A = this chain, B = another copy of it.
Amino acid sequence: MPSYPHKQTYGARALNFTNPTAKSIFETLERKKSNLAVSVDVTKAEDLLAIIDAVGPYVCMIKTHVDILDDFDFSLIEQLQHLSEKHDFLYFEDRKFADIGNTVALQYSSGVHKIASWSHLTNAHPVPGPSIIKGLSSIGLPLGRGLLLLAEMSTKGSLAVGEYTEAAVRMARQHRDFVVGFIAQRRMEGIGAQAGEDVTDEDFLILTPGIGLESKGDAMGQQYRTPREAVLGSGCDVIIVGRGIYGTDPKAVNIIGAKAERYMAEGWAAYLERIASN
């Protein structure tokens, strides 16, 4: 019998985790009354900073792809850290690590981006097997970082389904000190559990991409759901919104801020409805 952790408040769920990043995330969700993560996929540092400053008041988390910034320089990290303190949110570098243990340990700690040194949360595909968690946790765990596994994807024709998803959850279950949850479309507690395995107190943080208020998809296979569908209908904890908020003009900070506020309100209302439906 799986647990229903998503019927508890975010604040109460901070106590279900030992990982410091997981605790911080749930505490931030509760404190800011926002379960919105904004994904900022721009290629200029100036645009990244402007968008983060505009959406900062309304988010629990900023999702980055620092590897697409043409003018990335490590001094940018200080500016990013300043914004996270100013607006009280965490960073999630959406690196989608997907290599063998030895390689991902280097990719996480080294290179020009030094992701482990600043990103509270990152993610990995389970496809290489458990060695990818071992490699990443050798770097991230001493720093108090957290990892999400990609148990499902929101794209058409995704292969992260069925037995693949079950194997991902089993891998996470074996590494609860570092793996705090999933990129997924729904709750993952109890998925792929072995016969007789006790999963009654299980709690995973679920971040879900592919959220839109208006769009239904893009030309490259991305598919969309509304905040209410994701949070109330599917029990996801954090909604990730990208181009739906910052559109095509990174300079339109008033519009961007207003859109983030609207997504935040919709996501939070869905959460309140969810915990009230006990």
CB within 8 Å of B: which residues of A? 41, 43, 65-70, 72, 94, 96, 98-103, 105-107, 110-113, 125-132, 134-135, 150, 153-160, 164, 167-168, 171, 218, 220-222
Number of copies: 2
Do A113 and B67 touch across chains, with their CB atoms under 8 A apart? yes
Could you pull out 26 A-B pairs where Cβ atoms are within 8 angstroms?
A67-B67, A67-B112, A67-B113, A94-B103, A100-B153, A101-B155, A101-B222, A102-B218, A102-B220, A126-B159, A127-B127, A127-B150, A127-B158, A129-B156, A129-B157, A129-B159, A130-B157, A131-B155, A131-B157, A131-B220, A131-B221, A134-B220, A134-B221, A135-B220, A159-B167, A159-B168
CB A43 to nearest CB in B, in angstroms, measures 5
Collect the chain B residues with CB atoms within 8 Å of residue A68's CB.
103, 106-107, 110-111
| Closest B residue to A165 using CB positions | B159
Collect the chain B residues with CB atoms within 8 Å of residue A126's CB.
159
User: In the complex where A67-B113, A68-B107, A106-B41 touch, is A221 in contact with B130 (Cβ < 8 A)?
Assistant: yes
